[in-house]
A and B are shown apart, each in its own frame.
Chain A
Amino acid sequence: MRYSLLKIIKEGLTGNKGWRPIWRNPEPKKKYDVIIIGGGGHGLSTAYYLSNVYGINNVAVLEKGWIGSGNIGRNTTIIRSNYMLPGNEPFYELSLKLWEGLEQDFNYNAMISQRGIINLFHSDGQRDAYARRGNAMLLEGADAELLDEESVRDICPFLDFNNARFPIKGGLMQKRGGTVRHDAVAWGYARGADNKGVDIIQNCEVTGFKIVNGVCRGVETNLGPISANKIASCAAGSSSRVMSLAGIKLPIESHVLQAFVSEGLKPILPNVITFGAGHFYVSQSDKGGLVFGGDIDGYNSYAQRGNLPVVEDVCEGGMALMPFIGRAKLLRMWGGVMDMSMDGSPFIDKTHIQGLYFNGGWCYGGFKATPASGLCYAHLLATDEPHEVAKELTLDRFIHGKIIDEKGVGAQPNLH
């Protein structure tokens, strides 16, 4: 079913009776060409690009709960490509370009809103690092602007310029950055993949792998065994659990990241802003809520919830940066399980087990990567060769020292 204004009018006039499920709920087949473990954003986008770009339609997405129940459904919706290192920037820039055409591509309004993102800086050292980053972005063909204090003041006059503990000296702006309605991304990809015949199977948990002579030939699930030529793990925060079933230990720790939303407010924030002297970033959703977050809680967790110290830390950052939000009320706080990698950068790679592939380590930045992650993973699954922009996202990079550490904090996941 193609969505259009006309369709809405027609349905509206006939009692909205003609809407059909946007994905089927099929029973699993015995065998597929590709099984994707994890019906989150990346798993669904992988299925979408496999079927829509690489022509591989005999695909199942296995989701232990309901699709989109992981981090695609609980993030702060920001998209951007403001990375510094050559192992990352081309990948994220491709992702941003895919975002830009996504809605027309999958005929679903994910409310992609390129409202611009500003990373504020508060010292000369930060400015220099942002300049290096901005130039890396421009070298890759992305957009970036270095703003001085006056320019930031023009765009965001509501920030605290007069009484700040750490005065705002400027910011790095990416105008093409912005926000997306996160759940809709999962649904749009699911719909697009389902249209091409991909089986999206919910409430199907992988409980083991069928590995024969070093070759992975299928999975065990609570719905019985399913065979496949290629099995692609895409389980984000649960990556370690899934891959341990194949005896693989990962360079990943699972951590909790909290996110927050305020009650609905009339428009007051035009863009996405990140504070450079505290842990706080914020945007305003189309519904009017301030969507904000900060640092991860800092300890390993699979609990999808956090604790108060980070809530306070984030709100302190918010009040330091924009004290007019004091009377806005925090409506809801929640947590997601982050697959924090050892250098803060992700993996899209084969494993040493033939037929078993891995996608993970997205830390708290996986949402913006959703399109490129799916495309590059699909490319790898279809061709057995890494996509040009994902060549450095290998699992064994730490053995050789080819580290992609944007923050420079080393092999300590909770600092990334």
Chain B
Amino acid sequence: MERIFAMTCRRTSAAVLVLLLTSLWLGGASAAENRSVLRDSTYARSVLANNPSSFAWFAFLALCSPLDGSAPKLFETWRPSSEVYLKNGNRPLPWGDTPSIPSQAQAYAMREGIPSSTIWHNLDSYVQVDGLPLKDDFMRNVRYELYMNEDALSYVLEKQVYNANGQAALTANLSFPETAYELKTSWIWIESGDEKAYAELSPHYFIAHAYYETETGYNIGRAALTGMHIISKIQPNWVWVTFENDKNGDYTKASYELPIPPSAVQANQTHQSALKAQGSIFANYRLNGVQLDFNSPKRLANSQIESAFQSDSSCITCHSVAASKAQPSFEWFSVVDADGGGIQYYTGMPPDKKLEGWTRLDFVWSLRRAQWSR
């Protein structure tokens, strides 16, 4: 009886907490107060233990704050991986120093009257981990950008693994701090001047200014956020969360194929309703699920990020094979399970036998972007 009472109290407290925090965020409380899930690991773990979907939503809301139309959103202030793993393996700027955007983007911003405080997104990749692109309905590739928070960046700098030389010199496995976060975002590209696409997408999607490198310079435009992976080190095997836009099936060539668990469905109803009532664009985003362990659940995917292999996708297992070795020549472990003459991806328990002799990178695959000091 006491246990039931305690559990009931906890659930009630959690529900109250959800409502309180949601109203605080939507009410425009300060960023510092609203980001305790991102900063306070103990608090985050307690929310996670109570309801993983709540944790996921708290993190997402914090990252997308302020939730009204004002900018920048918190996640936009985190360090993109393009500014961590630099060409020629140079040391990245420390946290707090803002990398500059290409001069072509600066010139564009001046011409178009875009405030200099605007954060630009470098959507530097368009290939998913299975080697395939995802097309949107405008016949362009969906593009991606990765980010890490301050504590993740600090660890990368401390361990000097921002370049391949540093990773090749590792003598022990990596272990990021419990306050580390990484994000992977997916975007529909909006060509400069394509007001028709903007008009179609802006009622449903968060839109940001963006660019990407081409063979001849940079393409400058805007982009619509279609999905966001969030990973948190509040537990040793990290916590794996993914959100995507409800309209992705209408504007890209992929839609979500896996079932959304009941707890996520309920959390989505709660939070999306509240966001809709406040007119926030983030009402259009939903949680697909949370992975806490290798079989909990066995599969999780984002239609924008694991489009073609959703039924063979396990965020945690695929990231568990993040590893490298220096001999006989430096390389990173393969994400492909080629046993049996096919192409498949690791799900369930990690292939620990295959990883013997490899240096583990603590689930952080962005490290594979590291370049050599030349």
Specify whether A and B are partners. Answer: no
Partner-B contacts on A (CB < 8 A): none
